[in-house]
Each structure stands twice: as C-alpha cells, then as structure tokens.
Chain A
Amino acid sequence: MADVLVCVKRVPDFSGEVLLSDDAQSADARYVGHTLSNHDLCAVETAVQLAAATGGSATVLTVGSADAVEQLRTALGVGCTAAVLVEADPVTLGPADVAREVAAVVADHEASRGAAYDLVLLGNDAADSGDFQVGIRLARLLDRPVVTGVQTVTLDGDRVTLVSDVAEGRETYRLPTPAVVTVLEGGVEPRYPTITGRMKAKKIPVEERALSAEPVGSGRVRLRVPAPQSSTSTLLGEGPEAAPAVVDLLQQLGVAR
C-alpha cells in the first residue's frame, strides 16, 4: 500500500503568443486558460496508477494562487484521493521556496500519520519557469534519494524501480523508499477526467495552508519576450505543383541529390 504525494503547478496554457504583465514580472495570462505541465500530468497519472496498484493513496499538492484549486480538481478528477493547496503569490516564489513548502507538508504528514509518503513525485520541470530543481532541493531537505527525468515508476514493497531514457540508452534505477522522483513525459499516457470523476472531485475537501516562511524568490529581474520576427517566409508554391521548386531548394541546400 503506497502513499504517494504528487506536486503540480498551475501554468498558463500558452500556444501561440506570450504576453507579459506591465511590470514584466509575470506572464499576462488573463486571456489564456491554465493547465498542468505535460510532465506534471504524467506525474499525476503515475501517482494514480501506483496508488491503484497498491491500494494506497495519491495526494496532490500545489504551492501557488488560490486559483490553482482548479488544477487540484483536475488531479482529483483523474483519481487523486486528497489535495493540499499552499496559498501564495507565485510571482514571489523561487524553487527553494516551493521545495521548502513541499517539505513542510511532507513533515506534517509524517508527524500526524506516523508514516512518510513512500514517494514524492513532481514533474521534471514546469512548462512556464523551467527551473529543473524543486525535486532536488526537496530531496536534500528531506534527506531522501532523488532521481530526475524518469518515465516509468514501479513499486515493489519498499523498493522502487525507475526507468529513464538518456543519451546512452534506457537506464534503470532501483532505490529504497521513501524517495523523490521527477517525472518526464513519455512513460505513461495521462487520462482525462470523466464526468463521474469531476463530480467526485468536487466533493473532496482541499486542505488549505499558508506559507511556512517568507519567500526568498527567484532572483528574477524582469521577463521579456524576444522581438517578433517579421514574416520572411518565401512561398515556394501551392499544392503538388510546388514539388519541383521544393526539390530545387533541397538540392541547393545540399540535402537532396
């Protein structure tokens, strides 16, 4: 029976263009939706599968704005069994702050339940900030082993097997629990919430907490968006009639003979 904590982040769902707030301190997401990073979605799916396979629990946690309850509901809708929101202004947080807050939740859970989460899962990096380091900072605070960039996670008692695709090939890690793992997209296929799942999710209370310490921040000076490139695209033609022009170009570029 595995108790898994999965950490997620509410991120703007940018697909076409990024706009910034007037103070250049954050992305202006007023006109876009919000979502979970792809890696987070895979971490949630992994947590739900591990909990189901072992008859355990999957708790979803986020550190961020009150609006992030929407993303917690998404995770509850696909099978997470409990949710925690540590409310804070995301702009003020750096990776060390997020790691500290997750560690505080883990410590409180351990103190109240007398048992540790077997695994803490996180997305490998967030789609917006791409910091890559919350998992490692968390593991250091908890004094637990950490593996990053993992695609599949299998539990066998108090051992966890992790598989990760790297330049050399497919690496397998085996380590004792409790452990921290950051999940990379590609190993599991996230499920979508069903209507029943959404209804169930609405009834699950979300535990709300305040920050345990003043944030140290990220060192951000400002954000900026690279100057848009004017369209310099050269039209080679339309439809199959463009084929000779395409092949002429490929030959000029030296990639077709």
Chain B
Amino acid sequence: MIVVYVETVGGVVAEVSLEAVAFARTLAAAGGGIPVDAVVCGPLGDAGPKELAEAGVRTVLHADAGEFDVFSGAAHARAVLAAREQTRAVVLMGGGTNRGNDVMARVATELDVAMAANVVAFEGLSPFTVTRQVVGGAALEEVRLGSRPAVFSVAGHAVEATPAETAGPATLTPLAVTLEPGDLTVRAVSVEAVDTEAAGNLKSARVVVGAGRGAGGPEGFGDALELAELLGGQLGVSRVVTSLGWRPHHEQVGQTGSRISPEVYIPCGISGAIQHWAGCASSKVILAVNTDADAPMMTKATYAVVGDMHEVVPAVNEEIRRRRG
C-alpha cells in the first residue's frame, strides 16, 4: 500500500498533491499494482474525492475532526501514521512543499526511519532507491531508503499531475486519529490573507515576466510590470532584487523563493544563476532578454533577445499596444 499525504488550500486539493499522486501511481505500477490511498486532514470540498479518484486514488482517508481545521504539523503527521497503521503502507509520501516536507519529516522521525525530501524519480524497489534534487536541482542525489516504510516527498513539478488511465470512484472513509497531548501545542492561532496571495498568483501564473539586477533600481520595474499586465501575468524577480530591497520577497523566483512553471517565462536582466534557475526551470518556454548573450539564462532559454531590458521591454509593450489598436 502507498499512502499519499494530500494538502488542501481552502478545501481544494493542492496541485502539488495531485503531482505526488501521479508519482505514486508510477511507483504502484512498478510494484505490480499496489493500491494508492490518500490522507486528507481538515475540510475537503465536494470535488476533492472525485479529483483524487481521477488521479488514481482508491481510498481517501479523511481526518475531519475539528482539531484539523487549523494546520498543526504534529497532528497531520499523526493522521499519516494512523493511515499507515490502518493500511500497513510500505510507502508514505507527500508533496515537496514546506508543509509536505514538515509533515513527512515528522512522520519519519516518529517512525525512526530516513526521509528523502524533494524526490524526482525512483530508481528501484528492492532496495528502495530514489533520486532527489540537491543544490536547488543543479545536482541529483541517489538515496537508498533502507527501512520500511519508505518516507519521502516529491519535488514540485517533478511529474505532471495527469489523470490515471484507469480510475474507479474513490471511497471516502473517515480516519480516526488519536492525538497526543503535545500535538496541538503548535498550531496556527490566526491566518491572515495578505501578500501571499500574490505569491500564490506567481506560482500559478500562465505568464511571468522576470526582472533582475538589470532593472537598475527600485524605479526600474515599470516596463516589466506593464508587460506582465499586458500579458495577464505576474512579475517575478531575482534574489538580488529582493536583497537590495527593490521589490518584496514574495515576488522572488528561485531556490529560496517561489518555484514557477508558467507557459512562458520572460526573464529580463537576469543572468540565470543556479539558484534562480532552480525556481524557473519548469517553465514551458523561456524567452530571455539580456545584454550578455553568453549569460547562462540566455544559453539555457528557448528564445533570446540580446539587449537592454530598458530598451527591449518598452518596445515590446509598444508593439503589443500597436497591434491591439
């Protein structure tokens, strides 16, 4: 049995969890058709079970007691452990978000087994060996998870959240979880919807216009912002931009910022250091604008324009406006 810890946002199944289920499916197939179950903690919208069923989940184990209304890493880990007890799962996995890694690390710690974060592939079942991202994805580490159950998280965008070829309806089953007294010591006392909405938009944007040191200063983002607006996209920036205080951290794309996977990423004045590449490598098309034709971003991009972003981007904006009449 494979159990996937599924994250929800406002009762909606997170994309990264559907990716994790898709990953679990390939693992299940390699294991001769092992069933895939899901653990969901807290509110789950009506569409959730159907969506998970289409992804290949057989049973949705739902911890829906009031204690799960607010996130507590310890309580969620206890739910995954309860699911493991119930199903005798040999693999416990989640998505490679901060929350997914938190919960899976707690699970591994409780079980006194190893945990591999940000897995992108499995190499073999016996011994159970996975490949995970290190150095922000610039290198890969093959890791043997010697003990059972195998506990790991799947890196965001490592696989596509495609539906299962054959899927039946998923059974929604209440999951009884016995919490320890300390499990609720650490839980959010308030949740305020603020700029993180913008970060969320960045992660799900179809188009992201990036701007780096080439912007030249806090006043240098107007054209990039306008291009983002013309394309119905979002602005994303490099770390140096946030370090210099030119733009807020929630706009940062990279290893320690948001990881994006838009249809089109247009990095302007961004050289493409490993740490930035880690955050944008999943973009389907990259169109780089840079004065240095040999910058890593320019050579890795799908398309490139050599030039100063302050000359190229306004010209592109003008051309879009002209064609729109």
Q: Which A residues contact B (CB, under 8 angstroms)?
A: 14-18, 20, 27, 38-39, 94-96, 124-125, 127-133, 136-137, 140, 145-149, 165-176, 184-186, 189, 218-226, 229, 231-244, 246-247, 249-251, 253-257
Residue of B whose beta carbon sits closest to that of A252 = B285
Q: B3-36 CB contact bits vs A (8 Å, 1 = yes)?
A: 0000101100010000000000000000000000
A239 adjacent to B140 (CB under 8 Å): no
Q: A233: which of B99, B301, B307 is its contact (CB, 8 Å)?
A: B301
A128 adjacent to B316 (CB under 8 Å): no
Residue of A whose beta carbon sits closest to that of B129 = A221
Residues of A within 8 A of B144 (CB): 219, 221
With A and B bound together, what is the CA distance between A36 and B144 in angstroms? Answer: 27
> B152 to nearest A CB, angstroms?
11
Say yes or no for B194: interface residue by CB 8 A criterion: yes
Q: A240: which of B115, B242, B243, B315 is its contact (CB, 8 Å)?
A: B315
With A and B bound together, what is the CA distance between A210 and B189 in angstroms? Answer: 41
Q: A94: which of B105, B114, B135 is its contact (CB, 8 Å)?
A: B114
B140 adjacent to A257 (CB under 8 Å): no
B186 adjacent to A127 (CB under 8 Å): no
Say yes or no for B269: interface residue by CB 8 A criterion: no
With A and B bound together, what is the CA distance between A140 and B319 in angstroms? Answer: 59
State how many residues of chain B have any CB contact under 8 Å with chain A: 100
Residue in B140, B196, B263, B288 whose Cβ sees the most chain A Cβ within 10 Å: B196
Known: A172-B188, A185-B249, A246-B305. A137 touches B105 (CB 8 A): yes
Say yes or no for B178: interface residue by CB 8 A criterion: no
B10 adjacent to A222 (CB under 8 Å): no
A168 adjacent to B138 (CB under 8 Å): no
Say yes or no for B250: interface residue by CB 8 A criterion: yes
B102 adjacent to A169 (CB under 8 Å): no
B273 adjacent to A16 (CB under 8 Å): yes
Residue of A whose beta carbon sits closest to that of B188 = A171
Residues of B within 8 A of A256 (CB): 230-231, 320
Residue of A whose beta carbon sits closest to that of B232 = A255
Say yes or no for B245: interface residue by CB 8 A criterion: yes
Q: A238: which of B134, B257, B306 is its contact (CB, 8 Å)?
A: B306
With A and B bound together, what is the CA distance between A189 and B257 in angstroms? Answer: 14
Q: A253: which of B99, B133, B263, B275 is its contact (CB, 8 Å)?
A: B263
Residues of B within 8 A of A234 (CB): 302-304
Q: Which B residues contact A (CB, under 8 angstroms)?
A: 7, 9-10, 14, 71, 73, 97-99, 101-102, 105-106, 108-110, 114-118, 129, 132-136, 138-146, 153, 182, 185-197, 199-200, 206-207, 230-233, 239, 242-243, 245, 249-250, 252, 255-257, 263-264, 273-275, 285, 287-288, 293, 296, 298-308, 311-312, 314-316, 318-320, 323-324
B106 adjacent to A247 (CB under 8 Å): no
A225 adjacent to B102 (CB under 8 Å): no
> B324 to nearest A CB, angstroms?
7
Return 23 A-B CB contacts under 8 Å, by A number: A15-B275, A18-B274, A38-B256, A130-B134, A132-B153, A133-B109, A136-B105, A145-B182, A149-B102, A167-B7, A167-B14, A169-B191, A169-B192, A172-B188, A185-B257, A189-B243, A219-B114, A224-B140, A225-B138, A235-B305, A246-B287, A250-B231, A250-B320
Residues of A within 8 A of B190 (CB): 171-172
B110 adjacent to A149 (CB under 8 Å): no
With A and B bound together, what is the CA distance between A232 and B285 in angstroms? Answer: 12
Q: B196: which of A128, A165, A189, A253 is its contact (CB, 8 Å)?
A: A165
A145 adjacent to B185 (CB under 8 Å): yes
Known: A224-B142, A255-B263. A167 touches B196 (CB 8 A): yes
With A and B bound together, what is the CA distance between A222 and B141 in angstroms? Answer: 6
B274 adjacent to A14 (CB under 8 Å): yes
Known: A14-B274, A168-B10. A140 touches B109 (CB 8 A): yes
With A and B bound together, what is the CA distance between A184 and B67 in angstroms? Answer: 26
With A and B bound together, what is the CA distance between A232 and B144 in angstroms? Answer: 35
Residues of B within 8 A of A229 (CB): 300
Known: A94-B114, A226-B140, A247-B316. A255 touches B188 (CB 8 A): no
> B131 to nearest A CB, angstroms?
8
> B67 to nearest A CB, angstroms?
16
> B256 to nearest A CB, angstroms?
4
Q: B302: which of A168, A172, A176, A232 is its contact (CB, 8 Å)?
A: A232
> B255 to nearest A CB, angstroms?
7
Known: A169-B197, A233-B299. A218 touches B143 (CB 8 A): yes
- If A38-B256, A173-B186, A255-B264 are given as contacts, then 10 extra A-B residue pairs at C-beta distance below 8 Å, sorted by A number, are A16-B273, A18-B139, A128-B135, A146-B186, A166-B99, A172-B191, A223-B134, A229-B300, A242-B307, A247-B319
Known: A132-B105, A171-B191. A219 touches B298 (CB 8 A): no
> B171 to nearest A CB, angstroms?
27
Q: A184: which of B71, B98, B145, B319 is its contact (CB, 8 Å)?
A: B98
Residues of B within 8 A of A148 (CB): 73, 98, 101-102
> B149 to nearest A CB, angstroms?
14
Residues of A within 8 A of B274 (CB): 14-18
> A119 to nearest B CB, angstroms?
14
With A and B bound together, what is the CA distance between A5 and B188 in angstroms? Answer: 24
Residues of B within 8 A of A247 (CB): 316, 319-320, 323
